[in-house]
Structure 1
Amino acid sequence: MPVAIHHIVIDAHDLPGLARFWSQVLDWPILSVKPREVIVGPSPDAPLGLCFMPAGEAKSGKNRLHFDLNADPEVPGEREAEIERILGLGARRVDVGQTGDESWTVLADPEGNEFCVVRPKRDLIG
């Protein structure tokens, strides 16, 4: 049997604060809080979660890995509404070299980790 992804680990300077941000963005509960590890996930027995651990140094440069998030494709205007909600939680818009014609919006979390809010997957495939 192949291995499976258990957690995506995000280095952070403010573990509880960044965990709270992603908990609110994804509507996932904070499952565990320890001094050097905070875990967020859809449920305690979900196959995947986020684990926040102490960062050794400040972030420099563009992430080599990032999240692509999407909103409910059945609700008109939901993508834009979600972008505004996430900005209200503490994200900010960032420029990583976009032209302005992209089908995604690049944001960064409170510690500068980039992520995108994209159009529905069905629009990207095919």
Structure 2
Amino acid sequence: MTFDARDPARLARFWADLLDRKIVEDALVPGDEAQVSLRFVPGPARSATPTRSIHLHLTSEAAGDLRAVVDKALGLGAGHLDVGQLPEEPHVVLADPEGNAFCVIPPDNNFLAGCGFLGEVACDGPRAVGQFWSAATGWPLVWDEHEETAIQSPHGGTKVAWGGPPVTPKRGTNRQRFTLAVPAGDLAAEVDRLVALGATVIDADAILLADPDGNEFHLTAT
């Protein structure tokens, strides 16, 4: 996952400390074969105009663990965020230091059981987008009901999910997007494959594409 940030280094430090990971070059907080990596790059300030967003779901493993995760996040610079959640809802909605929403999920959530601490990347999008990303990544659909979809690496770990309709209208460029790492010699062939699956090329030089619902994503050479 790539996030636009006013201060990439600061945001990388927040997420590395929260996830108990290391930072490597270019404000990258790497994951592993079962946990999504996070990268923070210079980008515009957050707009007041609502747009599509991607938010992360962090899991908790036992009673009291949710409160500990929330307290740690607040101590690192997060804040509470009101998105209209009801008082009886068990999850806690927070925002990182640049306003990116994330949720801390209680331990009895069966959907995220066994997914690891960074349990889910939650996205706006219809079923067709989940199908596209399953084909694009080779990750199987592990949820496909009521227009909601989710994919997951064959190794398990973080799920990537799309909530189905209604989908927030696209206004400008998304501040969060996927980046796919591809062997350098395979970039051109991979672009052709993704276009055949329904992607469109936005900027051939930057290898910036859009999925079938217009969400930008990058290809980068490994």
Q: Report the TM-score, using the length of structure 1 for normalisation.
A: 0.77
Structure 2: distance between partners of 1:124 and 1:56: 32
Structure 2: distance between partners of 1:57 and 1:108: 15
> Which of 32, 36, 41 pairs up with 2:30?
41
Structure 1: distance between partners of 2:10 and 2:39: 13
What is the letter of the counterpart of residue 88 of structure 2? D
Could you say which residue in structure 2 is the equivalent of 1:29? Answer: 22
SS state at 1:80 partner: helix
Could you say which residue in structure 2 is the equivalent of 1:80? Answer: 67
Higher relative contact order (CA 8 A, sep 6+): 1
Shift of 1:101: 1.3
CA RMSD of aligned residues (A): 2.0
Shift of 1:63: 5.6
Could you say which residue in structure 2 is the equivalent of 1:59? Answer: 47
Could you tell me whether the CA contact under 8 Å between 2:11 and 2:97 is conserved in 1?
yes
Alignment of 1:1-126 (within 5 A): 8-33=1-26, 38-42=27-31, 46-47=32-33, 48-60=36-48, 61=50, 64-71=53-60, 73=61, 75-120=62-107, 121-122=109-110
Q: Give percent identity, aligned residues only.
A: 39
Could you tell me whether the CA contact under 8 Å between 2:14 and 2:76 is conserved in 1?
yes
Per-residue displacement from partner, 1:72-98 (whole Å, max 9, x unpaired)? Answer: x2x431111110111000000010111
Shift of 1:58: 2.6
Larger radius of gyration: 2
What is the letter of the counterpart of residue 23 of structure 1? A
Could you tell me whether the CA contact under 8 Å between 2:22 and 2:29 is conserved in 1?
yes
Q: Report the TM-score, using the length of structure 2 for normalisation.
A: 0.45
Could you tell me whether the CA contact under 8 Å between 1:62 and 1:96 is conserved in 2?
no
Structure 1: distance between partners of 2:99 and 2:10: 13
The aligned length equals 109
Ranges of 4+ aligned residues in structure 1 off by more than 6 Å: none
Could you tell me whether the CA contact under 8 Å between 2:5 and 2:45 is conserved in 1?
no
Could you tell me whether the CA contact under 8 Å between 1:62 and 1:114 is conserved in 2?
no
Gaps of 5+ in 2: 114-222
Structure 1: distance between partners of 2:9 and 2:47: 18
Structure 2: distance between partners of 1:63 and 1:16: 24
